[in-house]
Amino acid sequence: MEFAITTDSLAKRFGSGKGSVPALPGVSISVRRGEIYSLLGPNGAGKTTFIKCLLGIVFPTGGSGYILGMPLASIAAKEKIGYLPENHKYPLHLTGEQVLRYFGKLSGIENSQLGARIDETLKLVGMSDWRSMKVKKYSKGMMQRIGLAQAMINDPDLIILDEPTDGVDPVGRKEIRDVLTLIRDRGKTVFLNSHLLSEVERISDRVAIMRKGEVITEGTVEMLTSTKNQYEIRISPDAIAQAKEILGSAFHRADDGLIEAEFMNPNDLNAAIDTLRTNGIAIESLAPKKTSLEDLFIELIGTSDVQR
């Protein structure tokens, strides 16, 4: 399988000697081509440091990694990358179009293609009408959009986005999500760094959760949010008491006709369903119980870390 990003124990310490601080003890991840991969974690978890290591903004102190099969931070790799940093700043005297022109030229786009790329990316992020306005007059949401356009100006194979929906209103966030999905559908890879869990849950193919510089869990959203052996059974609210008695220790809790129950194996589940039906309780729905990414995040990180 081809990977867009692979790192093997990528480490970063700030400072030297006894006073050095381990920002990343050693991160090993593999991001597949054509997926939206999200890195989650509380503030100070090392997400931005990890991205900076990938791009050569800071230098790793250990481990190794490749981007699109090329060494980290190499010029060749950067030609195929688009990056939107957190709190990005553009020269305030430039218009949105001039920003794209400048960074497009730095990305090595030929002058003959630049105009078309600018038109396309501005249209994609819904900024065509404000292309001639100076960026100093842009709202936070507009800055994020022009930043996204800047990251896409060179039609990169890999887009790295650090908090792309930060400060954007719900409508803007949805539009950015749509753009990212569109990019993914075009075969590009999106590496997303965000603390907006609901956003991540909606668009990510795979997610990694980081704490104190280490990836503590990784997988598809489906896999991470599924709960093993736990099911949700919807019945009539009037039959809850009877169902509780029938299910016995398998019963966990019930809320307005929705029962949460745990069974050791599918046979136990089927037997329980049969018993409920035999006792005249109609099953309205049955599904494996899912947790939200937010619940999982809080469970893994701990409330104190989240609040920090």
Partner 1 sequence: MLKKFIAICEETYREALARKTIIGYFIISTLVILVVMFIFMNPTVKEQMMKVQQYGKKSPNMAADMIMVKALDIFWTVVLMMLNFVTICLGVFSTTGFITSQMEKGTIDLLISKPVPKWLYLLGRYLASLTIIGLQVTYFIIGIWVVVGATMGIWNIGFLGSIPFIVLGFAGIYSIVVLVSVLSGSSALSMIVGIGVYFISSIVAAGRGIAAMSGGESKSLLATIADVLYYILPQTGDMSENMKNLVVGNAITILPIFLIILLASSYFMLSIYFFNKKQF
Q: Which is nearer to partner 1, 57 or 271 (CB)?
A: 57
**By CB under 8 A, residue 186 contacts partner 1:** no
Give the separation between CA 6 and CA 27, rounded to whole angstroms: 10
Residues 140-167, buried b or exposed e (16+ Cβ, 10 A)?
Answer: ebbbbbbbbbbbbbbbbbbbbbbbbbbe
What minimum distance in Å lies between the beta carbon of 292 and partner 1?
32
Q: Which has the closest alpha carbon to 157: 221, 68, 218, 241?
A: 68
Selected binder of partner 1 within 63, 85, 164, 213 (CB under 8 A): 85
Q: Which is nearer to partner 1, 148 or 254 (CB)?
A: 148
Q: Which is nearer to partner 1, 50 or 90 (CB)?
A: 90
What minimum distance in Å lies between the beta carbon of 128 and partner 1?
22
- The two three-digit tokens of residue 77, written as one number: 């790799």
∠ CA 158-94-172, nearest 5°, is 55
What minimum distance in Å lies between the beta carbon of 154 and partner 1?
9
Task: List binders of partner 1 among 86-115 (CB under 8 A).
Answer: 86-94, 98, 102-103, 105-108, 111
What minimum distance in Å lies between the beta carbon of 106 and partner 1?
4
Task: List binders of partner 1 among 49-78 (CB under 8 A).
Answer: 52, 55-59, 75-76, 78
CB–CB of 243/261 below 8 Å? Answer: no
What minimum distance in Å lies between the beta carbon of 75 and partner 1?
5
Selected binder of partner 1 within 37, 50, 66, 83 (CB under 8 A): 83
What is the residue whose two structure tokens read 């124990």?
9
Q: Which is nearer to partner 1, 109 or 301 (CB)?
A: 109
Give the separation between CA 163 and CA 43, rounded to whole angstroms: 12
Q: Which helix (H) or strand (E) holds 7?
A: strand 3-14
What minimum distance in Å lies between the beta carbon of 4 and partner 1?
15
Q: Which is nearer to partner 1, 94 or 273 (CB)?
A: 94
Task: List binders of partner 1 among 132-171 (CB under 8 A).
Answer: 150, 160
CB atoms within 10 A of CB 268: 14
Total residues interacting with partner 1, rule: CB under 8 A:
32
Question: What amino acid occupies position 305?
Answer: D
Q: Which is nearer to partner 1, 78 or 289 (CB)?
A: 78
Q: Which is nearer to partner 1, 90 or 297 (CB)?
A: 90
CB atoms within 10 A of CB 77: 21
Question: What amino acid occupies position 294?
Answer: E
What minimum distance in Å lies between the beta carbon of 58 and partner 1?
4
- The two three-digit tokens of residue 142, written as one number: 């507009």
Query: Taking the alpha carbons of 159, 162, 168, 170 in that order, is the dihedral positive or negative?
Result: positive
| CB-count burial class (<10 Å; 0-12, 13-18, 19+) for 243 | buried
What minimum distance in Å lies between the beta carbon of 103 and partner 1?
7
- What residues line the site for partner 1 (CB under 8 A)? 52, 55-59, 75-76, 78-79, 81, 83, 85-94, 98, 102-103, 105-108, 111, 150, 160
